[in-house]
Amino acid sequence: MSDMRLIVAGAGGRMGRALIRAITETPGAVVAGALEAPTSPLLGQDAGTLAGLPPSGVKLSPDLWALSAEADGIVDFTVPEATIANVAIAAQRGLVHVIGTTGLTASDEAVIKSVTSRAIVVKSGNMSLGVNLLAALVKRVARSLDAGFDIEIVEMHHKAKVDAPSGTALLLGEAAAAGRGIELATHSARGRDGVTGARKSGDIGFASLRGGTVTGDHTVIFAGPYERIELTHKAEDRMIFAHGALKAALWARDQGPGLYSMADVLGLSDI
């Protein structure tokens, strides 16, 4: 099969630069385009050079329609507004769309879902192997423990992160809720402050810390009477997300239309 031609959306960002490096070092994939915001001062710069590599000849462009004429997929770690704009073009052009962007609203999620009867989308709040294994473990542990064990999810990220709770924390919350057989939407406690009253039994709590250069730490705490289980993942380098996203793109190329998760890509869906 020919190399998969990938567009990196948000190519000047932290994840975009990691993706350019990951694609460059992976056989079977090539950088076919580098998309950036129309207002970005980086437009016209070389994607390879920005990623700390030799010049690639691929310049940052704001025009996905033009870039996508010669591409098979788009790997998108940007901002919700950009991702939603990209969804329509990717679907129209028949591109595999790998979405890592977090902070998506329920209506954004609905827009993404709406194209998946005809388009291939892989979306996950965390593309790393470790976090997706952690999610499977969390689901399993939650299934074994009753509501006497309170579930709390703590995450810490670098000071530039703009959304909270993190996409990963929400993914882990969904896993815990699935294990317990409840809906996260109606059993979640976010942003406690002031006189909140006692903890509501059955809720899944979230707490977000921001500071420094932390790549991404997540702990799921099962706090029961006189004992506590804590499951933790610590990301040490963004390349784990980039390699996961690339694996997703190459995997998705052989799938039919649909909305897939990293659990599907990694074969963890049945845990």
Ligand X SMILES: NC(=O)C1=CN([C@@H]2O[C@H](COP(=O)(O)OP(=O)(O)OC[C@H]3O[C@@H](n4cnc5c(N)ncnc54)[C@H](OP(=O)(O)O)[C@@H]3O)[C@@H](O)[C@H]2O)C=CC1
36 among annotated binding-site residues: yes
Closest-by-Cβ residue to ligand X is 13
User: Is residue 247 flagged as an active site residue?
Assistant: no
For helices 129-144 and 239-252, the axis angle rounded to 10 degrees is 90
CB 131 to ligand X: min, Å = 8
- Residue closer to ligand X by CB (options 77, 222) is 77
**Catalytic member of 97, 123, 157, 233:** 157
User: Is residue 187 flagged as an active site residue?
Assistant: no
By the rule CB under 6 A, 188 interacts with ligand X: no
Q: Count of alpha carbons within 13 Å of 269, Cβ hemisphere only? A: 7
Quick one: what does residue 157 bind among ligand X, ligand LZUJQKHR, none, with the CB cut-off 5 to 8 Å set by partner type? Answer: ligand LZUJQKHR
Query: Applying CB under 6 A, which part among 33-41, 59-67, 166-174, 190-198 lies near ligand LZUJQKHR?
Result: 166-174
Q: Give the distance between the most distant pair of CA atoms in the chain.
A: 61
Question: Do the beta carbons of residue 137 and residue 227 sit within 8 Å?
Answer: no
List the one residue from 21, 97, 157, 180 that touches ligand LZUJQKHR (CB under 6 A).
157
By the rule CB under 6 A, 132 interacts with ligand X: no
Q: Is 102 exposed, middle or buried (CB count within 10 Å of its CB: 0-12, 13-18, 19+)?
A: buried
For helices 14-24 and 239-252, the axis angle rounded to 10 degrees is 60
**Catalytic member of 97, 123, 139, 161:** 161
14 among annotated binding-site residues: yes
- Residue closer to ligand X by CB (options 12, 205) is 12
Give the chain's radius of gyration (CA, Å).
19
Distance CA 115, CA 39 (A): 27
By the rule CB under 6 A, 102 interacts with ligand LZUJQKHR: yes
Quick one: what does residue 94 bind among ligand LZUJQKHR, ligand X, none, with the CB cut-off 5 to 8 Å set by partner type? Answer: none
Quick one: what does residue 78 bind among ligand LZUJQKHR, ligand X, none, with the CB cut-off 5 to 8 Å set by partner type? Answer: ligand X
Closest-by-Cβ residue to ligand LZUJQKHR is 216
10 among annotated binding-site residues: yes
Distance CA 234, CA 14 (A): 18
List the one residue from 26, 56, 126, 261 that touches ligand X (CB under 6 A).
126
End-to-end CA distance of the chain: 32
Distance CA 216, CA 234 (A): 6
- Residue closer to ligand X by CB (options 98, 204) is 98
By the rule CB under 6 A, 130 interacts with ligand X: no
Footprint on this chain of ligand LZUJQKHR (rule: CB under 6 A): 102, 125-126, 157, 161, 166-168, 216, 235
Q: Which residues are catalytic?
A: 157, 161
